[in-house]
């Protein structure tokens, strides 16, 4: 019942935001998604984000990060626009996980034109560029509220837009939650970009996301399928839908596909990834491809996720990622399970001495 009440409240808030109607927003580069993994799945991430990139998608996902993580992304965007992103997550025992990220967009040189007196033609008058950036600090942790385990998170960001010599700064806030509502079934919600620019008092591109995900393991632990879908309620435009799926083979090779509904410039997405462990460090390289409508071109994301300080061979650690929940059956004396509907439901204990 508590879960149903929570869901109803979120839908009410979403409806309220949507009723606000269309408007003008600033710093719209904040809509550009980070991470090739998420992009390949159609950006359906609000319920299943479980790594350092949660700083962007849903800060509550940081609660699932157990090791220091670093994420880097290079986006080759339409018409020569480039976008760079870097983030780090630092978990601290009994306190939670902190995240820091910085992203930067550059348009390259754009021709500046001057219209003639009659308005029938124009002449070139040099060039200019558009730059945008954001710096974000996030925090996520696990909580139990009214006997309901959930992950909660918050982000604070400073954003900037610069056209020639005109620099506009602003500040924003993200808040989010995730919870495992059934076994292998996840629910999440986040409100992104609550804030304004300082000088012009324009709103940031605020939106609410509500979504779910499910991890399918009926084919065994070597063949996992993760599906997710989000409903997106932007403050300044119509409702949008994101959906995607990921197939993983032995948690090493990944194939992803996604679809975005009611977007102006793109819909289909696809991607792939590869993961390798070198001693106690894990490297995950991901790529995504997004064809654009008409003649705007395609976008290519390449991202690298690095996990540091993994357990030594033979050590038993707490599962972190959603797919890591699929474990072999242990003898009852070696594993203690509980039904708290959280990723912590598998609690490992030391084997008894014989």
In the block, tokens 């600090």 appear at 137
Q: What integer pLDDT is reported at residue 8 of this predicted model? A: 46
Q: What integer pLDDT is reported at residue 345 of this predicted model? A: 35
Q: Is the pLDDT of residue 323 over 70?
A: no
What mean pLDDT value characterizes the chain?
Answer: 82
Residues in the chain: 354
* Banded pLDDT at 73 (limits 50, 70, 90): very high
Please tell me the pTM assigned to this model: 0.81
Q: Map out the domains of the chain as residue ranges.
A: 2-318
* Rounded distance between C-alpha atoms, residue 207 and residue 191, angstroms: 6
**125-179 pLDDT, tens digit each:** 677 778 899 999 999 999 998 888 999 999 999 999 888 778 889 999 999 999 9
* Rounded distance between C-alpha atoms, residue 159 and residue 117, angstroms: 38
* Rounded distance between C-alpha atoms, residue 69 and residue 67, angstroms: 6
Q: Match domain 2-318 to its CATH number in 1.10.1040.50, 3.30.70.100, 3.40.1170.10, 2.40.160.60.
A: 2.40.160.60
Q: What integer pLDDT is reported at residue 337 of this predicted model? A: 38
Lowest-confidence segment of 80-94, 201-215, 294-308 by average pLDDT: 294-308
| Strand, helix or coil for residue 63 | helix
Q: Is the pLDDT of residue 13 over 60?
A: no
Q: Is the pLDDT of residue 210 over 80?
A: yes
The mean pLDDT of 222-231, rounded to a whole number, is 96
CB 277 within 8 A of CB 310: yes
Q: What integer pLDDT is reported at residue 180 of this predicted model? A: 92
Q: Is the pLDDT of residue 296 over 80?
A: no
Q: What integer pLDDT is reported at residue 165 of this predicted model? A: 79
* Residue 302 or residue 111, greater confidence: 302
Q: What integer pLDDT is reported at residue 130 of this predicted model? A: 84
Neighbours of 289 (CB within 10 A): 16
Phi, psi dihedral angles at 44 (to 5 degrees): -85, 95
Beta strands in the chain (DSSP E): 69-76, 82-92, 96-106, 110-115, 122-128, 130-145, 148-163, 166-182, 185-197, 207-216, 223-234, 240-249, 253-261, 268-278, 281-291, 298-307, 335-337, 346-348
* Banded pLDDT at 23 (limits 50, 70, 90): low
Beta strands in 118-184 (DSSP E): 122-128, 130-145, 148-163, 166-182
Q: What integer pLDDT is reported at residue 351 of this predicted model? A: 44
Residue 234's beta-bridge partner residues? 207
Q: What integer pLDDT is reported at residue 343 of this predicted model? A: 38
Q: What integer pLDDT is reported at residue 10 of this predicted model? A: 54
Q: Is the pLDDT of residue 201 over 70?
A: yes
| Strand, helix or coil for residue 55 | helix
Structure tokens at 60: 């509550």
- Supply the DSSP string of 218-265, one letter for each residue: TT-TTEEEEEEEEEEEESSS--EEEEEEEEEETTTEEEEEEEEES-SS
């Amino acid at each position: 019942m508590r879960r149903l009440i929570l869901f109803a409240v979120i839908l009410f808030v979403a409806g309220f935001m949507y009723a606000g109607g269309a408007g003008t927003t600033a710093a719209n580069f904040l809509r550009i998604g980070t991470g090739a993994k998420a992009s390949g799945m159609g950006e359906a991430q609000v319920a299943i984000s479980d790594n350092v990139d949660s700083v962007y998608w849903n800060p509550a996902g940081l609660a699932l990060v157990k090791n220091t993580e670093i994420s880097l992304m290079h986006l080759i965007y339409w018409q020569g626009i480039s976008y760079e992103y870097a983030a780090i997550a630092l978990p601290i025992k009994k306190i939670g996980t902190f995240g820091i990220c910085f992203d930067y967009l550059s348009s390259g040189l754009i021709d500046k034109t001057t219209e003639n007196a009659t308005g029938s033609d124009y002449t070139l008058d040099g060039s200019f560029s558009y730059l945008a950036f954001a710096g974000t600090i996030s925090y996520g942790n696990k909580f139990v509220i009214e006997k309901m385990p959930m992950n909660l998170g918050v982000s604070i960001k400073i954003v900037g837009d610069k056209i020639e010599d005109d620099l506009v700064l602003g500040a924003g806030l993200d808040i989010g939650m995730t919870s495992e509502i059934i076994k292998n079934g996840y629910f999440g919600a986040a409100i992104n970009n609550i804030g304004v620019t300082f000088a012009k008092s324009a709103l940031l591109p605020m939106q609410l996301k509500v979504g779910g995900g499910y991890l399918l393991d009926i084919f065994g632990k070597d063949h996992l399928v993760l599906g997710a879908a989000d409903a997106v309620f932007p403050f300044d435009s119509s409702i949008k839908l994101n959906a995607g799926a990921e197939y993983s083979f032995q948690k090493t090779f990944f194939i992803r596909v996604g679809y975005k509904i009611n977007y102006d410039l793109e819909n289909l997405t696809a991607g792939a990834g590869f993961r390798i462990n070198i001693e106690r460090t894990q490297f995950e390289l991901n790529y995504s491809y997004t064809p654009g409508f008409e003649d705007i071109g395609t976008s290519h994301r390449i991202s690298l996720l690095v996990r540091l300080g993994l357990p030594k061979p033979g050590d038993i650690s707490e599962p972190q990622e959603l797919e890591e929940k699929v474990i072999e059956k242990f003898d009852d004396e070696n594993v203690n399970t509980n039904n708290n509907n959280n990723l912590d439901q598998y609690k490992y204990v030391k084997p008894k001495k014989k």
